[in-house]
Structure 1
Amino acid sequence: MLKGFKEFITKGNVIDLAVAVVIGGAFTAIVNAVVSAIINPLVALFFKADAAGRFGPQLTSIYGEPVTFPLGELISAVISFLAVAIVVYFVFVVPMNKWKERQAAKNPAVEEETLPSEQELLIEIRDALRKHDAH
């Protein structure tokens, strides 16, 4: 039972998913701070903020009111995603893949017997029927 649990836990998909969730949650505060302290001011250099503090190009609506396309929020979301993905990949996925490679080198997989193809099975059935009919 413990061996099965160990195999389940050491499968890459389970580990990758768990790591992504935990690190993503923990890393969010850092990424948000970087985005608000560095990225948003850089975007603000090129785009005027609206009354709600959103950055992006402003157009006048048909009612005469300014409408802001919040590119700052979009850029922040993209940067946050990329930062989390990079950290998770290089800190957790790459080492886990190397660990799996080492484990595979220590325990080379025994090649499973390949099953016959559908055509081979049909030929065997045909030959068996011919042999049976001949008797």
Structure 2
Amino acid sequence: MIKGFKEFIMRGNVIDLAVAVVIGAAFTAIINAIVEGLINPLIGFLFQLGDLSSLNIVVPTLFGGTSTFAIGSILVASINFVAVAAIVYFVFVFPMNRWKERQAARAGVAEPEEAKLPTEQELLMQIRDLLQQQEKPRA
């Protein structure tokens, strides 16, 4: 049992995943700091809010009280998500894809061509042939 666990841990995928999680957490902290320290104040300045997270909508309830919708918090979380996703894509995914394409081109490995789909006329001819085979009397 210990031997199997050791083999599982020593696989490259597990270590790569662990590194990705750690790096992702670090980048998320950086992006959150940028959004909270730079982007939110800029948006708050443009809309004269002071801070985007303070944007709330207060609605009266049915029984005389009020209910507060924290729209600013939702916007801050959405901006954080888009910022993290964009940075991960443009810093990691896009360059890695370009690097893989260049490596494949250097190795002379062409990308596989997509199988040519039959035309509408070819499909109709195949259907006709199948129907003709079904109509023939069986001996």
Match of 1:83 in 2: 83
Query: Secondary structure, in 3 states, of the residue corresponding to 2:64?
Result: coil
Give the superposition deviation at 1:61. Answer: 0.5
Q: Which one scores higher on RCO, CA 8 angstroms, separation ≥ 6?
A: 1
Give the superposition deviation at 1:102. Answer: 0.8
Show CA shifts across 1:78-135 (max 9, x none): 1011110111111111110111111110223377xx9xxxx9xxxxxxxxxxxxxxxx
Q: How many residues get paired?
A: 99
Match of 2:31 in 1: 31
Within 5 A, what are the aligned runs for 1:1-135? Answer: 21-37=21-37, 39=40, 42=44, 45=48, 55-109=55-109
Aligned residue identity for 2:105: A
Give the superposition deviation at 1:21. Answer: 3.9
Q: TM-score, normalised by structure 1?
A: 0.52
Please report the RMSD computed on the Cα atoms of aligned residues, expressed in angstroms: 4.1
CA distance in 2, matches of 1:19, 1:98: 22
Give the superposition deviation at 1:25. Answer: 1.4
CA distance in 1, matches of 2:95, 2:19: 12
CA distance in 1, matches of 2:82, 2:19: 15
Query: Secondary structure, in 3 states, of the residue corresponding to 1:58?
Result: strand
Identical residues among aligned pairs (%): 46
Query: Secondary structure, in 3 states, of the residue corresponding to 1:59?
Result: strand
CA distance in 2, matches of 1:101, 1:33: 34
> Conserved in 2, the CA contact under 8 Å of 1:20 and 1:88?
no
> Conserved in 2, the CA contact under 8 Å of 1:19 and 1:92?
no
> Conserved in 2, the CA contact under 8 Å of 1:61 and 1:67?
yes
